Amino acid sequence: MTITDTYYLVLAAMIFTIGAVGVLVRRNVLVMFMCIELMLNAVNLTFVAFARQLNDVRGQAFVFFTLVVAAAEVAVGLAIIVAIFRRRRGTTADDVRMLKG
């Protein structure tokens, strides 16, 4: 059997959904970040699948920018987590309910 682009798109949809549900369900900020990475990866997979379907290399170039944004987001996000942890001694999202200094 041949693996068409639809297979990849459905798989990416599943990974994206798992990541989205993870962000909603988990309370640990670090795990929420990992779920965001899952969603970004699902989008990357979709980009690459469409790049092959349309025979256009620009789809792959876009994945590059997604990767850069993901790396920057993780760097800043983890710095924020470290800053919050210093104050609150916890990494659950409930610890930042009150965004006061």
Q: How many chain residues bind another protein (CB under 8 A)?
A: 72
Question: How far is the C-alpha of 26 from the C-alpha of 57, rounded, in Å?
Answer: 36
Nearest CA-CA partner of 63 in 82, 41, 38, 32: 41
Does residue 43 bind another protein (CB under 8 A)? no
Q: Is the dihedral of CA 86, 92, 96, 98 positive or negative?
A: negative
Does residue 96 bind another protein (CB under 8 A)? no
Does residue 53 bind another protein (CB under 8 A)? yes
**Least Å from the CB of residue 87 to another protein:** 10
**Least Å from the CB of residue 99 to another protein:** 14
